[in-house]
Structure formats: C-alpha cells, structure tokens
Amino acid sequence: MLDQRLVRETPERIVEQLGRRGLKLDLTALQMIACQERDLQEQRSNLQAEGNRVGRQVGELIRSGEPPHSPAVQVLRDQGNRLKQQVGVLEEEEKTLEARLHEQLLSFPNLPSPLCPEGRSEADNVIARSWGQPRRASDGEAPLQEHWQIAERLGLLDTERSVRIAQSRFVTLLGQGARLERALISFMLDIHGRRGYREVMPPILVNSASLTASGQLPKFADESFRCADDDLWLTPTAEVPITSLHRDELIPAEQLPLKYAAYTPCFRREAGSYGRDTRGLIRLHQFNKVELYWFCHPDESEAAHASLTADAEAVLQALDLPYRVLDLCTGDLGFSAARTFDLEVWLPGAGVYREISSCSTCGDFQARRSSIRLKEGKKTRLLHTLNGSGLAVGRTMAALLETGQQDDGSVLLPRALVPYFGTDRIGPES
C-alpha cells in the first residue's frame, strides 16, 4: 500500500510514477480526504491534550484542599466532559475518512522502481541475460514433441479423468509422473535449504486479511477460489501465507534477513486465459510451486533481489535447463512489485521460452499493508519484502520432458535429479 503522506504532500509523484505503469489518475479528491483526515487527527490530539490539562487542574485543586464537589471543581469537570464529547465526535469522523482513504489506497499498485525499464507491455521487457544452449531439432531430424504429447505417450498424466473429477484445467499425475513431481519438490527444497532458506509448510487456506496484506485483494478476487461458508480462500501462491507469517510484528534488525522456502499447492482461476495453453502442465487451476520469500532491511533490498533471483536460477542450472532472464518493463509489472526479473525456461518441443519464475522486490508495499516493521535501536521502520518462484514445479517438469526426450521415446533426466527420482530415465511403464 502507498504511503498516505505521499497522497497528502506529493500526490504528483504518485500520478507520475503510476503513469509509468500506464495508469492515468486524478488524486485531487483523495488528497482532500487525506488532508481532512490529518486535520481531524490534529484537532483530536489537541483536544485530548486540553482534556488532560483540565484533568490535572482538577487533581491539583483537590490536593490543595478544594472540596471534590465544589463549584470550581465542577466547572473544570464540566469542561472536561465537553472536551471528551468533542473528541468522540472527531474520532468518528476521523474513522470514517480513514476507512475511505484506506479502501482507495488498497486499489493502487506499487510504485515502480527507478531501475525498471520503461514500457507499455511485455513486448518492451528487456532480456538481461541468458544461460545454456537451447535445444532445437536439427535438419532432417523429426520434430521435437511438446511435453503433453510425451506425458500422454508415457502415461504420466490423465486429463480426461481429471475433468470427470473436477473440471477442465486440472490434471492427475500417474506413476512416474507423480514420482517426478515429488522428486522435483524435494530437490528444490533441498537446494534452497543449502542456500540458507528455512523451510516452511504454511496453511493453503488463507483468510481475506492475508490476501489483502500481500496485495491479492481486492484487485484479484475474481482470480481466486473462495470457500462458500467461511472467510477462507485457496491460496494462489505461498507468498500470501508467508507475508502474513509476520503480520503485525516488530522484528529486530539483527534478525534480518529472514529467508523462507515453502512448498504449497496453488490455486488460480486463470480468468481471461481460456483458449491459451489448453493442454498439458503450463496453465492449470491447481499446480505445485516452491516459493522463495525474504523479509529484509530496506538498505539491502536491491542486493537481496539479485540474490533471490540467483537462487531461483540455481535450480534451472542444476537441472541443465536453458533459460533467459527478463527485466520487466513498467507496464508489465505485477500489482505489488516495484521491480521484477522473470525467468523463462526454454521448451524445445514448443520452440518458445515460457515463464517459470517471477522474482520481485516489493519495497515496503506489502509491509505497510501487513504492518511489519523492523526495530533498529530505538527506531522502528517498515522493512522490505521480496518473493519469487523457486520454481513452478509443473512447468519445470514440462521443460525436463521436452529437453530430455530421446529418439527411442524415453526421457533422459539430469544427473542431479537421479538420487531423487531413482533412475536417470523415464520410459514406458510395463
């Protein structure tokens, strides 16, 4: 959430910076609400101070020998009661304005970092670097298959029965497919554990306050699945419960950074994506993901962003999966992000790079929504949060199937995964 002081004092900065995201705003009315709320706050504070002064006068009179029910004491007490009533009226007006201001601020995305490349859409994203040599079919070679073709041929998944169980865009993994998914989850968690992350397995049902704290609500309500009879939602990403792991807390600066790695199933409606990626593991309503999350000191967040991104890249490199890193332009940033590096893995069968991780620094945006502060000496301030996939498991499986496909129809797995899967090859099950 944006700082209310910016709305009051420099609304033109918000207009300019969110204009970089392609938004056109007029904050005149909102600035007026913010200023009125602050004025009421000051009036209330002054009246409370006056009331305290009158209260002290009453005490001093009584201690000096004045009878508690004397006219002089009663005049002061009447004055104190009038001040209390005025404070009560101002408090109600202040709460009303504060609620209006808070509700509107929740709908504004984060301000983009000055380091973000300018742009209006994904076409303006900048390729920062690439790793590995993408596999392509050579001349005279049969076309490489896409992952869903390989998976169906080897009996790794079943989509038709999944529709019967749930609906479209769900998948059931079978046999070696289920084992590969489990192996990848353990492999990713072990890599991140060695790199200093504390493993956490949070609830996958989250309340509205948690979704609001991370920036998912109110904007993305239509993208999420909600339980009908409870204030609970299926989590769209482990970023949501981990943000609220320290909600309303004061963290000593010497404990930072706090680094978490969490495996969770994730659930998204994928509204607006119908007709895209209708087969396979790329765009599902339910998918598994290992999430990386940092709570860090504001002075260290830029370096932390580079480190978190490198941690996600380490998984791809260990699996010998070629990829590239995109520096997202201002027009393609996610709601809570100030800057994002997307990792796109190469899919040889499809012949395209596809997103497999978004590594974002959010500045104090989520910390303000969540009231998470750090304590440094006698001072407190909002800390910074960062998150990224390390990685999306289904998309990793898709990349492994397409990259490792062999002429005999089997799939060769990378050496680092063999201890987790149990063998170096996936073939037809007998």
CA atoms 64, 68, 73, 76: torsion sign: positive
Q: Between 67 and 365, where is the model more confident? A: 365
- Our CA angle for 299, 304, 309, nearest 5°, is 155
pLDDT for res 58: 87
Q: Which residue among the candidates 162, 307, 358, 370 is catalytic per the annotation? A: 358
* CATH number listed for the domain at residues 4-105: 1.10.287.40
Percent above pLDDT 90 for the chain: 89
Does domain 122-426 fall under CATH 3.30.930.10? My reply is: yes
pLDDT above 80 (res 36)? yes
CB-based burial label for 182 (10 Å; 0-12, 13-18, 19+): middle
Reply yes or no on whether 8 is catalytic: no
pLDDT above 80 (res 32)? yes
Residues of the chain with CATH 3.30.930.10: 122-426
pLDDT above 70 (res 273)? no
Reply yes or no on whether 355 is catalytic: yes
pLDDT for res 279: 87
Reply yes or no on whether 268 is catalytic: yes
Reply yes or no on whether 358 is catalytic: yes
pLDDT for res 65: 87
Q: What is the DSSP letter of 133?
A: -
Reply yes or no on whether 38 is catalytic: no
Q: Which residue among the candidates 44, 169, 268, 354 is catalytic per the annotation? A: 268
pLDDT above 80 (res 250)? yes
pLDDT above 80 (res 271)? no
Mean pLDDT of the chain: 95
User: pLDDT digit string (tens) for 117-147?
Assistant: 999 999 999 999 999 999 998 876 789 999 9
Percent above pLDDT 70 for the chain: 98
What are the tokens at 56? 């002290």
User: pLDDT digit string (tens) for 164-180?
Assistant: 999 999 999 999 999 99
pLDDT for res 98: 93
Residues of the chain with CATH 1.10.287.40: 4-105
d(CA 30, CA 184): 48
Q: How confident is the model at residue 429 (pLDDT cuts 50, 70, 90)?
A: confident
